[in-house]
Structure 1
Amino acid sequence: MGAKPIRGRITAAAEQDVVVFLIGIRINRLRSVRRWWPVSTAMPRMLAELAADRDSGLLGHRMRLGPPRTVELVQYWESPQKLLAYAADRDGLHRPAWAAFNRLVRESRGEVGIWHETYVVPAGSYETVYVDMPLHGLAAATAPVPVAHRGESAAERLGRRRAS
């Protein structure tokens, strides 16, 4: 059925810089299972590896179905350095998965697509509010706090106006 909503207004406890990393896969040809299956199954293993390492820098994530034949993953990271360190780690799961994907792409004819976007968001340049919602987004990745902790309005939470 899903998580129980938290009554009232909450915001994310995060007050530091945050990296938002979006990554996705699009299956362009459903019958080409041997092209998209390895890519589809690599991400859950990488997320498990990151979750097991409390110093990885991954704060949290949420996977969702996007447009047709697309799966998207939203990740929240402590810093761009930790994200890039994981991507480059020769002992981690990402490097071999990325190498395997590149081999598949060279052999394929556009049967699977992959994309990512990285946003480094400075502290004070984001705001969140969740009303009667289960833990979601940045609040789920960090921790929930009452809205009054960061300001009653979006302008206050963005740091443009001091909370009274």
Structure 2
Amino acid sequence: MIEGRQTAAYDGDLVVFLLGMRVNKLRALRQWLPVAKSMGPMLHDLTTDPDSGLLGFRSFPSLRSITMVQYWESTEKLQAFANDAQRSHRPAWTEFYKHAYKGNNVGVWHETYKVPAGQFETIYANMPLLGLGRISGVVPVSRRGNTAADRLAHR
């Protein structure tokens, strides 16, 4: 845990990518289990390649679904990974549409947000490193402003 009020040290442009999977029919294990298992190889592929553009991620599982927050350097790197037939995403996506998508037993979703430098703010008060602070490290809030408005105005 880091004591006191901190803010992420990150200064650049950022892409926040939210993605998830929802099991619509629990008994349809053969349809949704391969979808769930496909995320591990993708994350391994990305985390072992320092040039992939993935800065970090965090998962939030629940009973029937999982949501992941990913931080990327750019949409170009995110899309390059997603569309590269030699990497793990494109084959998994093709399999999903071939098999799991038609049965409505499992659903997937994503949202992509491009965030220009200086257009986000963070605060961590007596927290372990997580989110953007885990990726970049943290600095005392006073370096960027004591309020959210101050931190958003900091450039």
TM-score normalised according to structure 1 size: 0.89
Contact preservation (8 Å) 1:60, 1:142: no
Q: How does 1:68-79 map to 2 (within 5 A)?
A: 68-79=63-74
- Partner in structure 2 of residue 118 of structure 1: 112
Unaligned runs of 5+ in 2: none
* Counterpart pick for 1:9 among 5, 21, 43: 5
% identical equivalent positions: 51
Kindly report structure 1 stretches of 4+ aligned residues shifted beyond 3 Å.
Answer: none
Counterpart AA for 1:95? R
Structure 1 window deviating more from structure 2 (141-150 vs 85-94): it is: 141-150
Q: Distance in 1 between matches of 2:81 and 2:54?
A: 10
Unaligned runs of 5+ in 1: none
Q: Distance in 1 between matches of 2:139 and 2:37?
A: 34
Matched, 1:157 2:147: no
* 1:144 to partner: Cα distance: 1.7
Q: How does 1:5-154 map to 2 (within 5 A)?
A: 5-66=1-62, 68-108=63-103, 110-154=104-148
* 1:106 to partner: Cα distance: 4.7
Report the 3-state secondary structure (helix = DSSP H, G, I; strand = E; otherwise coil) of the residue aligned with 2:38: helix
* 1:82 to partner: Cα distance: 0.6
Aligned CA-pair RMSD:
1.4
Aligned length: 155
* 1:156 to partner: Cα distance: 1.7
TM-score normalised according to structure 2 size: 0.94
Contact preservation (8 Å) 2:32, 2:100: no
